[in-house]
Amino acid sequence: MAFGRKKKVVPFRTAGELDAMAAAGAIVGRALVAVRDAAKPGVSTLELDEVAEQVIREAGAVPSFKGYHGFPGSICSSVNDRVVHGIPSASEILTEGDLVSIDCGAILDGWHGDSAWTFGVGNIIEADRLLSEATKWSMEAGIGAMVPGNRLTDVSHAIELGTRAAEEVHGRKYGIVDGYGGHAIGREMHMDPFLPNEGAPGKGPRLVVGSVLAIEPMLTLGTTETKTLDDDWTVVTTDGSRAAHWEHSVAVTEDGPRILTLRPE
């Protein structure tokens, strides 16, 4: 990072540093796939957490969430009306039809990877499937805006347009969760600037080759408003509507956006 330009550009990395971040991100991708494969009716979210931690540690990495400001898990497991930051628990047992959002991070050689996705347990209702699909579309629209010369809120605006496009196709409204969004990432998990998931384009620091952002839209089937439960972590929708969360860590390159948290097929 060029300190004199800190306020004017989104923090950027060298090509070698991006490769190091991609190595951390690949571990996150493997952990997410392992968690999805393990997510069956009767399985607890704590068991999912153990699956993720094992994958991360066996790869020689460290779970970045565990102990972060006191968070107890290696994943955030947010089921149904939980938006983000759900704490894995032995008493939370998955059932058929649950909508599960898993957020996961890993540190390898000092570099962070951070990614999330939403999936159903068994057969899920069409509205939930479309909600997850719309959230993924929104993320992909934001990824598409990760090009040199764009500004931070060009990415925000692209995410919002992705949501609106999904609404048109699906014939329904989605709530863009208020107050939460993405962030720069590198040798720390959460770095400035904060990336809103909606808003006018053309504002904020510029993207340059090597800039990295974690792009993470969160949509609901209802409200845009949330509240935090008594555990001081779990964020839920105020109306009980279901929520979805997708995230990739993405770099700007001369050849287009580079996803640093790829998942195995």
Condensed to tens digits (0 to 9), the pLDDT of residues 188-205 reads 999 999 999 999 999 999
**Domain total in the chain:** 1
Question: Which of the four pLDDT bands, split at 50, 70 and 90, describes residue 265?
Answer: confident
> Strands 248-251 and 175-176: what pairing?
unpaired
Q: Residue 1: inside a domain, yes or no?
A: no
pLDDT digits (tens, 9 = 90+) for 97-138: 999 999 999 999 999 999 999 999 999 999 999 999 999 999
Examine the pLDDT at 6 and tell me if it is beyond 70: no
Which residues, including other chains, have CB under 8 Å from residue 118's CB and lie 6 or more apart? 99, 100, 101, 102, 131, 132, 135, 136, 244, 245, 246
- Encoding tokens for residue 75? 């994943």
Q: Residue 19: inside a domain, yes or no?
A: yes
CA dist., res. 53 & res. 137, Å (int): 28
Q: Residue 226: inside a domain, yes or no?
A: yes
Strand partners, 12: 211
Examine the pLDDT at 3 and tell me if it is beyond 80: no
- Encoding tokens for residue 228? 């935090």
Q: Residue 238: inside a domain, yes or no?
A: yes
Structural domain for 198, as ranges: 11-259
Q: Is the pTM of this model over 0.75?
A: yes
- Encoding tokens for residue 257? 């956006």
Q: Residue 3: inside a domain, yes or no?
A: no
Question: Which of the four pLDDT bands, split at 50, 70 and 90, describes residue 7?
Answer: low
Q: Residue 244: inside a domain, yes or no?
A: yes
261 close to 61: Cβ distance less than 8 angstroms: no
Examine the pLDDT at 14 and tell me if it is beyond 70: yes
Question: Which of the four pLDDT bands, split at 50, 70 and 90, describes residue 50?
Answer: very high
Burial degree of 223 (CB within 10 A; 0-12, 13-18, 19+): middle
3-state helix, strand, coil in the chain (%, to 5): 30, 25, 45
Q: Residue 265: inside a domain, yes or no?
A: no
Alpha helices (runs of H) in 4-102, residue ranges in sequence order: 15-38, 45-58
Contacts of 51-56 with C-beta under 8 Å, sequence gap 24+, read 52/102, 52/104, 55/27, 55/30, 55/31, 56/27, 56/28, 56/31, 56/104, 56/106
Residue 176: which CATH number? Answer: 3.90.230.10
Q: Residue 6: inside a domain, yes or no?
A: no
